[in-house]
Structure 1
């Protein structure tokens, strides 16, 4: 999985500029990926070579040949949060204390599709939209999930006597990050607000009994649909995810509750489809799941 910025593209070759955070010389590097008839380009739906314009951001899932592109998402983004105001086709959304507020435009071709799954475009209700970036801000392409039928303030917390399970099960989604500068990892809904843990003081408890963690903690996330698992660090408080007591039905019906939000790289690396928006997940907190040789599995694991 690679994220980067398009430098050039031809029918058989994609050239990207990507950031390297490790190694002896961190910085921007140039990456060349082969493309072929099996390469899928998505830009607000199906796209093509014309969507791969220089300067656009892309997320690339690699093919079986390591330096080939299987699927490319162009300028994909996501807006998740509480509706603050609606003015015509523009919706103002509070995305939480780490992500601020944004205005998302729902163009006419997407409006009916959004309204089917988000019938209450009213202040105080939750919204979740898959978008494409534009010079004027995010533009909605499709709903990321169905709209919860409650206002966030009406969400009942879990029973205080409910035991915290060793493995959390529910929904994994993805988030765009703060200005694209968020390191790869996860936003976790129950980051402790005490001391230097990094949590949100007014974060809701959600509908799942979570153990509290700190920023920098490792969690192991397993995609229940693909069987792939990996260890990722907690890089942000996922207080917005805690407001959603919904389900994912990507391969089965998940238990209620969003238990983790992943950066696009981590989400795609586990086999997720960015335009689908979620997968059924299991999350183990604490030490990474050890595999033979001391690695954390990227394939099927036993939980």
Structure 2
């Protein structure tokens, strides 16, 4: 999805107005910039070169013996078939022969997180929130045991989070994206009314969508205002973190507390499903409880997150007043 020129113009006007009143946001000296990551469709692949269609252009990325390919687990060159969707993260080694070097490639990866609506012996039906579709997820026998270890209640009303691989019949679960919260989706305890709202939120960053989505870097935020044209949904839960309300088009700076990378991205949709997950990420240490942001796959990978791992410990700074 390509952002409209009008939306881009409004975003730039807001940024200039904010900096005129409050000054430019000071950077964190320790932060490193994000790595280059993109989503695209495979056109051709060889042991030394990957050719993608991405954003309406042809992109060539060098590959080496250290390039790692994920396709439901370990993959190789055979997984890079023309027509398949991929998310590619470039390594830090820069250029090789004039082409960027691919460090990690995720093939047909997808994520399904939300509330279980129905379940059978080998599949679940999941409601991913008001701004996303309901979807049917197959759970193959080889993945069921691992899913049940971390999601023991495959029952309607409970939350589920699955890392999947795409197939012609829809997403197939590969592994759980997190441990299942022990409460029902409608039994989340809200923060105390007097709990202070922090300018810097700390908790878990995850990702949403799939490799086929070539949307630009952006974030789904758990507390998008439902009033007027802000873009929120009326029945969004309050979450277990006291969030400041934002609108679609606002900007947040996301810092990977484990990898030290940071980037400022726009809020592109309401992440009301994420607000129901009061869990922790243990990427490098136990994060505070609560999902504070969901990123598009390329934005998540660019900040050093591994899509198959599912999360990283994060801090989120709201850029400007709320």
TM-score of the superposition, structure 1-length normalised? 0.90
Shift of 1:285: 0.6
| Deviation of 1:166 (Å) | 1.5
State the match for 2:295 in structure 1: 262
* Matched ranges for 1:264-303 at <5 A: 264-287=297-320
Alpha-carbon distance between aligned partners in 1 of 2:108 and 2:299, rounded to the nearest angstrom: 17
Question: For 1:266 and 1:93, how far apart are their aligned partners in 2?
Answer: 24
Partner of 2:94: 65
* Per-residue deviation, 1:178: 11
Distance in 2 of aligned mates of 1:153 and 1:2: 36
Instruction: Tell me the equivalent position of 1:114.
Output: 147
Name the structure 2 match of 1:139: 172
Q: What does residue 267 of structure 2 align with?
A: 234
- Partners of 1:43 and 1:61 lie apart in 2 by 15
Which of 30, 44, 49 is the equivalent residue of 1:8?
A: 44
| Aligned equivalent of 2:246 | 213
Q: Give me the whole-angstrom Cα distance separating, in 1, the residues matched to 2:263 and 2:94.
A: 21
Instruction: Report the equivalent of 2:67.
Output: 39
| 2:81 pairs with 1:53 | yes
SS of the residue corresponding to residue 306 of structure 2 reads coil
Tell me if structure 2 keeps the 8 A contact 1:192–1:214: yes
Q: Does 1:30 align with 2:66?
A: no
Which residue in 2 is equivalent to 1:17? 53
Alignment-derived partner of residue 170 in structure 1: 203
Structure 2: where are the runs of 5+ without partners?
A: 1-36
Shift of 1:182: 4.3
- 3-state DSSP of counterpart to 2:74: coil
Contact 1:12 1:35 in 2 (8 A): yes
Q: CA offset at residue 286 of structure 1?
A: 2.1
Match of 2:21 in 1: none
Deviations 1:254-300 (A, max 9, x none): 00000000000110111000000000000001249xxxxxxxxxxxx
TM-score if structure 2 supplies the norm length? 0.85
Q: Number of matched residues? A: 280
C-alpha change, 1:147 and 1:236, in structure 2 (3 Å) is same
Matches within 5 A, 1:53-202: 53-63=81-91, 64-66=93-95, 67-176=100-209, 180=213, 182-202=215-235
- Match of 1:116, SS? helix
Task: Kindly indicate whether the alpha-carbon contact (under 8 Å) linking 2:232 and 2:247 is maintained by their aligned counterparts in 1.
Answer: yes
Separation (CA, whole Å) in 1 of partners of 2:239 and 2:101: 41
Change (3 A) 1:13 1:177: closer
SS in 1 for 2:94: coil
Q: Secondary structure at the match of 1:85?
A: strand
Return the offset for 1:36.
1.1
Shift of 1:184: 2.3
- Higher RCO (CA-CA < 8 Å; seq separation 6+): 2
Cα distance, 1:16–1:182 mapped onto 2, change above 3 Å: closer
Question: Are 1:99 and 1:178, in contact at CA under 8 Å, matched by a contact in 2?
Answer: no
- Would you identify which runs of 4 or more consecutive aligned residues in structure 1 move more than 4 Å? none
**Matched residue SS, 2:75:** coil
Unmatched tracts of structure 1, length 5 or more: 20-27, 289-303
What SS does the corresponding residue of 2:83 show, helix, strand or coil?
Answer: coil
